[in-house]
Amino acid sequence: MCALKLPKQEIKFKGLKIDDMFVWNLKSIKMKKQIITLVLVFISITSLKAQNKEIAKDEKGEIAEMISKNLLETYIDLDVAKKMTSLLKSNITLNKYSAITNPDAFAELVTQDLQNVSHDLHLKLNYEPKKIAQSKRVMPEEMKIEREKMMAMKMAEINYGFSEVKILNGNIGYLNLRMFADTAYAKGAATAAMNFLFNTNAIIIDLRENGGGVPSMMQLLSSYFTDAKPVLLSNFYERETDSKTQLFTIETIDGKRITNKPLYILTSKNTFSAAEAFTYTLKHLNKAVVVGEVTRGGANRTRTINLNDNFSLSVPYIKAIHPVTLSNWEGKGVQPNIETNNKEAFVIAYIDAINKTVSRNKENVLNSIGYNLLKEKSIDEAIIVFQENTKLFPEESNSWDSLGEAYFMNHDKDNALKAYEKSLKLNPKSESAKAMIQKLTLK
């Protein structure tokens, strides 16, 4: 197995390289620190006040009215918006929220009510006075650059979500991607990962802990698995402006395309938003096999609207429409091709990739994979691999011997004994099977 250490790319801001931005005189640096200190003090005071704040009855009604107004104007589905506004009006009239004084609790309950009607996990009422205050503050240009630089450096520290890239036994590529970062920063990491995986026989992209990100990374990665001629990934419709837009793959990419190899995408109930878009799009373009759990179900593009100084509304305003299904995964999640639990998704995809790409010495390859999993203490997964080997090669004594060893390590003596007995029956000269049967049958 070999792993790739992805290079960190050079980051530029408004024509300045990071190194250039540190070449400031001492006076400028001191002034900048004083400004930042004052801002932090102000934020601390504001945050402390916000923590002690209670929400008044009048403000609840005003918030409900502002939510209704924005939903009717911008929410992707007018009929659903009408149902939500009707519910909010009824709840205010019936004093459902009257006993709530904590603004966070109010935001959570309203969000729950909205989502119960819409089944839209992107739709949220947020209590965030600190963030709203920051958005209204006029920030010096120098501080904007500094803030942008710090955000980019934080993303670089986690390699823009590309947490692990390696080649598994059997020449199967594996990418663990934790976020879909903006390609303005993360293009180099994405390119390095794709180029590293190019010579593998199949690729597994693990999105089980990916909560989403931005469309540009989804667009870039999709482009590596499609032909050079731009492919339509999604249509978009904005109800407020009655406008339609489209997202295509990129015609020119860095490196080579990977269009003729099996691609697997691992999902879980935590897979969300842009990660779902990537999965759903490639699944229905017949470019990927999805393995794992049904995803969370957030499809539509969202923006945040400040309602007042304390509350904001995250509202989906652009609907995603896949060119093949003419629908999306909103409220339903992406349905896997091979549905299994989160823990077993990787090994199920791995076995399928081996079965589709390895034609010679498959028994030995699977046996080696099983023992690597045992070394990693992934005993349950190793058992699945050894079980597959006994199904494919039921007359091979060694396959049953390995399965017996995995069962034994899992403290499953009954199944271990059965496997060793099968191994010995196929090969009466097997000393290891004899020894283990004697050990397991001693009273």
Architecture in CATH for domain 359-441? Alpha Horseshoe (1.25)
Mean local confidence (pLDDT), 351-363: 96
Percent of all residues in the chain with a pLDDT value above 70, rounded to a whole number: 88
What per-residue confidence (pLDDT) applies to 260? 92
What per-residue confidence (pLDDT) applies to 15? 36
Least confident of 38-42, 78-82, 347-351: 38-42
Where along the chain do its domains lie? 10-157+302-314, 159-298+333-339, 359-441
Phi and psi, residue 349, nearest 5°: -65, -40
Give the whole-angstrom CA distance, residue 354 versus residue 337: 17
Q: Is 70 exceeded by the pLDDT of residue 28?
A: no
What per-residue confidence (pLDDT) applies to 52? 53
Q: Is 50 exceeded by the pLDDT of residue 11?
A: no
SS3 sequence of 369-393: HHHHHHHCCCHHHHHHHHHHHHHHC
One fold for both 159-298+333-339 and 359-441? no
Mean local confidence (pLDDT), 334-352: 98
Q: pLDDT tens digits for 91-144?
A: 999 999 999 999 999 999 999 999 999 999 999 999 999 999 988 887 788 888
Residues 300 and 332: beta-carbon distance below 8 Å: no
Q: pLDDT tens digits for 175-224?
A: 999 999 999 999 999 999 999 999 999 999 999 999 999 999 999 999 99
Higher pLDDT, 413 or 11: 413
Q: pLDDT tens digits for 372-397?
A: 999 999 999 999 999 999 999 999 99
Q: Is 50 exceeded by the pLDDT of residue 255?
A: yes
Phi and psi, residue 260, nearest 5°: -115, 25
Query: Which DSSP symbol is given to 219?
Result: H
Q: pLDDT tens digits for 425-441?
A: 999 999 999 999 999 99
Q: State the virtual CA torsion across 71, 77, 82, 85 in degrees, nearest 10.
A: -30
Residues 389 and 399: beta-carbon distance below 8 Å: yes
Residues 239 and 76: beta-carbon distance below 8 Å: yes
What per-residue confidence (pLDDT) applies to 13? 33
CATH of domain 159-298+333-339: 3.90.226.10
Give this prediction's pTM. Answer: 0.83
Q: Is 50 exceeded by the pLDDT of residue 10?
A: no
Query: Which DSSP symbol is given to 213?
Result: B
> What is the distance between the terminal CA atoms of the chain, rounded to a whole angstrom?
42
Please give the radius of gyration of the chain, using alpha carbons only, rounded to the nearest integer.
Answer: 27
Count of CB atoms situated within 10 Å of the CB of 206: 24
Q: Is 80 exceeded by the pLDDT of residue 400?
A: yes
